[in-house]
Amino acid sequence: MLVVAENINIRRTKLGKAMKERNSEPIIEVAKSLKEAGADYLDINIGPGTKGGPELMEWLVTTIQKEVEIPLCLDTKNIDAIKAGLEAHKGKAIINSTDGTQEQMNKLMPLVKEFNAAIIGLTLDESGIPRDANERFQIAFNLVTKAMEFGVSPEDLYIDPIILPVSGMQDQVNYTIESMEMFSQLSDPPPNTIVGLSNVSQSSPDELRSLLNRICLIMLICGGLSAAIMDPLDKELMAALKTYDILTNKVLYAHSYLD
């Protein structure tokens, strides 16, 4: 399971300030600690990126990859910023994200091909966020079809069934898991899958969030999840992940397996 660190986000006060001031030090420090904690990718979230998005994304990609050897997941709605990030990026980038509308898919799939990147496809279209597993499956089908049309392998597509907060939309969590189990029937090889895990505990009290996140992660992995945008600095979350690998016999057990 691919761990994509959620932490480099313009909405976080300290890092947002560092991004605006082009102060590399706090960003590099966090990036190093995330890799050290077990991140495989770093999600670089610059929000809508309407003002100076391309310059900021290019600066972040260059600044981080100069000091830390890790690939990045470029998280913004601004397509020009995605493109600027891809041009500066070393290794295989992930584009975060396209939705299932023809307009977005037609703009972003050619970039996946051109830069040999991967892309997250949200099960979201003109009619908004789906209400059940079947609606999610339908949009996932459109995403896989469009990827193939542009010569993008399903393995370079990460379908995101969109996890919603359990506080407020309790019935949706199960639909997300159900839909994920269905995605394996979409193509051969099947597309990969990803979620923004912490969404599930948004607007729940702080003392509940880590528990909600880690149980949800294990449920999703059992349903075949390939990647999660999550917090690798949450020690108990990472311990749950390691324990899953032990109990499924993927990693050899030792009393010290958590060290």
75 vs 125 by CB, closer to ligand THG: 75
Return the structure tokens found at 56: 């900021």
Task: Enumerate binding residues for ligand THG (CB under 6 A).
Answer: 6, 9, 12, 45, 75, 96-97, 120, 160, 162-163, 196, 198-199, 202, 229
CB of 121 to ligand THG, least distance (A): 9
Per the CB < 8 A criterion, the answer to whether 223 and 195 are in contact is: no
Q: Of all residues in the chain, what percent are helix, strand and coil, respectively (each to 5)?
A: 50, 15, 35
* C-alpha to C-alpha distance for 144 and 152, rounded to whole angstroms: 9
Per-residue burial over 227-258, b if 16 or more Cβ lie within 10 Å, else e, is: bbbbbbbbeebbebbeebeeeeeeeeeeeeee
CB of 12 to ligand THG, least distance (A): 4
58 vs 99 by CB, closer to ligand THG: 99
CB of 247 to ligand THG, least distance (A): 27
208 vs 247 by CB, closer to ligand THG: 208
CB of 151 to ligand THG, least distance (A): 23
* C-alpha to C-alpha distance for 181 and 198, rounded to whole angstroms: 20
Q: Which residue is nearest to ligand THG (CB)?
A: 196
123 vs 187 by CB, closer to ligand THG: 123
